Amino acid sequence: MGNFASDNVTGISPQIMAALATANEGTAMPYGDDAITQGLRDRVAAVFERDCAVFPVATGSAANALALATLVPRYGAVYCHREAHINVDECGAPEFFTGGAKLVALDGPRAKIDAAAVEAAIDGVGDVHRVQPAAVSITQASELGAVYKPEEVSALGELARRHRLALHMDGARFANALVTLGCAPADITWRAGVDVLTLGATKNGALAAEAVIFFDPAKAGAFEFLRKRGGHLFSKMRFVSAQLEAYLTDDHWLENGRHANALAKRLAEGLADLPGIELLNPVEANELFLALPDAVVEGLEARGFRFYSWGKVGEKQVRLVTAFNTRQEDVEAFIDAAVALTGAAVRASA
């Protein structure tokens, strides 16, 4: 029954499952020295319109931490949003893998940061008492479901170049953002100044696969060694690569993203005008944030719907996430239940 807790409550898409079965035939050389991993590099080059250094790993936290560790010195500062996954959901992995770099948490609406906020935070260059500005990290789509437009990324890219900072993009939900923008993948990444993208596939149909993509292969530096040290060099790499290859083939990633986004939009339309329900953010990707009366939250939970509470303790705010295989009937059932429960709440207070 409708589980809207996250997009990682899902299984694996049939296309990616089939790719794993195909990769399972015969033998292949280990540690990425196989034809499927080479094919993935070619696929990424075609999708992003340039040759890149591509490194498959199995979790987004590893992807982010290793990407940052490659570009940021131990004494560096990484500017990110206060609610960024790297800042609040990775158990200090970015600090650990960089060898102690400092995440500098910035504020901004809907979990996005802008060039002005980063500029204002840059401080202490050359001062031995201060961490040294090293990178900017943004999340596409953001932790509150907002999408960075190409011009917003370009402004950050321009600022990063001016201050010699690396620009990292956490793309755990990159496909969801991309289909909303309708632009080329290159337009929202390297053409806008992004140096490294951690491209998530797990939440959008894969089993466990994320690609770390350096758009200038010369900047991939020590990544290979850091990945091995970090325990993320898979000996049977072909199975991670096969997921990513299938993901990027025949627009599978975009179709999955479109499906998730469309159902998020449908939920928003069905819920936004109900009495007592407030849509807290415009829906730009596959996440909705809502304020709901207690009785409605409890009623939905009692009917078996799953979702996370969000925001501060004591406020009835919830997050709903749709995914590549969310069923339309579950969305309609959720809306129907909310209609019934909000109607009952109104009658009870009348």
Ligand X SMILES: *Cc1c(COP(=O)(O)O)cnc(C)c1O
- For residue 306, the cross-strand partners are 3
| Residue span binding ligand X (CB under 6 A) among the ranges 28-36, 53-61, 307-315, 322-330 | 53-61
CB 325 within 8 A of CB 13: yes
Q: Which residue's CB is nearer to ligand X, number 81 or number 191?
A: 81
| Residue span binding ligand X (CB under 6 A) among the ranges 54-62, 103-111, 176-184, 263-271 | 54-62
322 is a contact residue toward ligand X (CB under 6 A): no
Q: Which residue's CB is nearer to ligand X, number 43 or number 85?
A: 85
CB 56 within 8 A of CB 40: yes
Residue nearest to ligand X (CB): 60
Q: How many CA atoms lie within 13 A of 54 on its CB side?
A: 29
Residue for token pair 């005008």: 273
94 is a contact residue toward ligand X (CB under 6 A): no
The rounded distance, in Å, linking the Cα atoms of 115 and 82 is 15
Q: Which residue's CB is nearer to ligand X, number 1 or number 9?
A: 9
Of positions 95, 143, 245, 287, contacts ligand X by CB under 6 A: 143
Shortest separation between residue 240's beta carbon and ligand X, angstroms: 13
Q: Which residue's CB is nearer to ligand X, number 34 or number 143?
A: 143
| Residue span binding ligand X (CB under 6 A) among the ranges 21-29, 56-64, 174-182, 231-239 | 56-64
> In 3D, which of 2, 81, 60 has the Cα closest to residue 264?
2
CB 122 within 8 A of CB 160: no
CB 146 within 8 A of CB 284: yes
Q: Which residue's CB is nearer to ligand X, number 170 or number 195?
A: 170
Q: Which residue's CB is nearer to ligand X, number 171 or number 293?
A: 171
> In 3D, which of 226, 252, 260, 213 has the Cα closest to residue 69?
226
Instruction: Mark residues 216-255: x for contact with ligand X by CB under 6 A, - for none.
Output: ----------------------------------------
Of positions 37, 98, 132, 139, contacts ligand X by CB under 6 A: 139
10 is a contact residue toward ligand X (CB under 6 A): no
60 is a contact residue toward ligand X (CB under 6 A): yes
Reading the block at residue 204, the tokens are 């959008």
What amino acid is encoded at 121 in this protein?
Answer: A
Q: Which residue's CB is nearer to ligand X, number 89 or number 107?
A: 89
Residue 243 parent element (H or E) = helix 238-247
The rounded distance, in Å, linking the Cα atoms of 84 and 142 is 8
Shortest separation between residue 9's beta carbon and ligand X, angstroms: 12
Reading the block at residue 350, the tokens are 């009348």
Residue 14 parent element (H or E) = helix 14-23
205 is a contact residue toward ligand X (CB under 6 A): no
Number of residues that bind ligand X (CB under 6 A): 10
The rounded distance, in Å, linking the Cα atoms of 82 and 276 is 29
Of positions 19, 103, 172, 283, contacts ligand X by CB under 6 A: 172
- By the criterion CB under 6 A, which residues form the site for ligand X? 59-61, 85, 139, 143, 170, 172, 202-203
